[in-house]
Amino acid sequence: MVNWRSMARIGLLCAWAGAALGALAQDFPVKPITMVMPYAPGGPGDVITRVFAAAMQKPLGQQIVVENPAGASGTIGTTKVARAKADGYTLLMIHVSHATNQAMYKGLPYHPEADFEPIGRATSGPMLVAARNGFPAKNLAEFVAYTKANASKISLAHAGVGSASHLCGLMLQNALGVKFNEIPYKGTGPALNDLLGGQVDLLCDQTSGTVPSVKAGKIQAYAAAGRSRIPSLPDMPAIAEAGVQGMEINISFGLYAPKGTPKPVLDKLSAALQTAVSDPEVRQRLEGMGISAVPVELARPEALRAHLKNEIDTLGGLLIKAGVKPE
């Protein structure tokens, strides 16, 4: 026999829950939002995060504060977001390391897919092969010849195992058939600082951090890490132009929230992200760093979800081939 009173109560509860979610979306946000960038201040990821935090404040009507709990290839900051309250007030801006850390750490305290809600992709950008001023190669052809002949003497900086600059460096070594002396840092900012100071020889990293220093004459740039030239440095060749094959990497930043964040809140955050990638000022500033805001159709949860899965499937193998073993 149907208990109509119980059914009525369930109906009322569902209606109340729906109304509560609707009110949450309508009111959100009512306080400042924290956007976590799990790498050191001053690096390319930090710059990108601050560009988007500033742009998303406008449609959301609240301040977005950027935090940099750096270390352990981004896992410290990522863990903080995974454990945060799922209310939309703590977000994560991160790139490829979100996909690769699963292959690097046995006891990773979160799952990159199961513990996060994708909001959307933010940027897409090529990588740049750069060297300290005074590095003994005048052009790409000389760079290839010199590095192949002197690999054991060359130091290669990167932002930590599994970082974008580490992956780029691995691809560079594989493509050249050499092994450099790798020097890991806690983030790109410190690595770039040592390249600027001449303490290390090479850095293969995102154009957002390297292009301004190249244009200022503070470091040398030899090639774009792929088949195409970089619009912001049109006279610099792509590494494929020197006959170096098997090296093509493009880094995309994406925005995530903790798992369980209500869909109405996610929709509002995604809409703000879409507004940001469409903002002419944002696009102009990113282009000045050699990267691009994604088309608005990619600044959506489903696009980031598919992108993350592809990176997990493909880049884990690169780390295994390089001999990286989970800690």
Cα separation of the two ends of the chain:
58
Going by C-alpha positions, the residue among 35, 18, 58, 84 that lies closest to residue 261 is 84
Per-residue pLDDT of 205-221, as tens digits, reads: 888 778 889 999 999 99
174: which residues sit within 8 A by CB, 6+ positions away?
246, 247, 321, 322
Q: Do domains 31-122+252-321 and 126-250 have the same CATH topology?
A: yes
* Structure tokens belonging to residue 179: 């092994």
Per-residue pLDDT of 126-140, as tens digits, reads: 899 999 999 999 999
253: which residues sit within 8 A by CB, 6+ positions away?
45, 48, 49, 93, 94, 95, 121, 122, 123
Across 57-71, 75-89, 153-167, least confident range: 153-167
Rg (CA), the chain: 22
Structural domain boundaries in the chain: 31-122+252-321, 126-250
Average pLDDT over residues 158-167: 86
290 touches 71 (CB < 8 A): no
pLDDT bucket at 187, cuts 50 / 70 / 90: confident
Give the pLDDT of residue 316. 75
Going by C-alpha positions, the residue among 132, 57, 125, 120 that lies closest to residue 93 is 120
DSSP conformation class of 146:
H
Just give the CATH number of 31-122+252-321: 3.40.190.150
Average pLDDT over residues 168-183: 94
Question: Helical H runs in the chain?
Answer: 4-27, 44-60, 75-82, 97-104, 140-149, 164-176, 188-196, 207-215, 263-278, 280-288, 301-321
Query: Does residue 207 sit in helix, strand or coil?
Result: helix
Going by C-alpha positions, the residue among 74, 45, 93, 53 that lies closest to residue 209 is 45
Across 103-107, 137-141, 318-322, least confident range: 318-322
| Superfamily for the 126-250 domain | Periplasmic binding protein-like II (3.40.190.10)
Q: Does 86 have pLDDT greater than 90?
A: yes
C-alpha–C-alpha distance, residues 297 and 141, integer Å: 39
